[in-house]
Amino acid sequence: MTTTTSCHLWPHYRTRNGFGQCRYRGKIEYVHRVAYQRFHGRPPQRAVLQSCRNRLCCNPHHLVDGDRHSVIKYARGTDLPQHKLTEEQVRTIRRSDQPRWRLAKRFGVSVSCVSNVVLRKSWKHL
């Protein structure tokens, strides 16, 4: 992970899940994917992740190809988007007596995301 330079934050359009988006070669693309492609001269093999965990960052030095093991660490992180869940799912999680890992798997979010819902660190308004 290279941190020699600071983040380059995308100032324009961002998606609902917080990633920068732009038009590139006639297609709507994530900015960090375009930045990766231009820097490395080839499209990313899989998902491109920001090692700085800043979703708007398009500094190519912060971008890692998702087939490195970091993708696993990233997927277990706490910063998966909360709004992947619907309000109904949040209520279901809070009512459920299933283990958190099972709920996480069921709803496609991280365990810490489920924990935050259960502990009311997220979705406080519900």
According to DSSP, the β-strands at 21-24 and 27-30 are: antiparallel
**Main-chain phi, psi angles of 115, to 5 degrees:** -55, -45
In contact, 20 and 14? CB cutoff 8 Å: yes
Q: Can residue 22 be called a binding residue for Zn ion (CB under 5 A)?
A: no
What is the number of helices (H) and of strands (E) in the chain?
5, 4
Shortest CA distance to 8 belongs to which of 29, 44, 36, 46? Answer: 36
Q: Does 57 bind Zn ion (CB under 5 A)?
A: yes
| One of 62, 90, 103, 122 touching Zn ion (CB under 5 A) | 62
55 binds Zn ion (CB under 5 A): no
- Verify binding: residue 9, Zn ion, rule CB under 5 A: no
Query: Is residue 52 part of the contact set for Zn ion (CB under 5 A)?
Result: yes
- Measured from the CB atom, the residue of 33 and 62 that comes closer to Zn ion is 62
To Zn ion, the closest distance from the beta carbon of 39 in angstroms equals 13
User: Rule CB under 5 A: is residue 117 a binding residue for Zn ion?
Assistant: no
User: If binding is defined by CB under 5 A, does position 7 make contact with Zn ion?
Assistant: yes
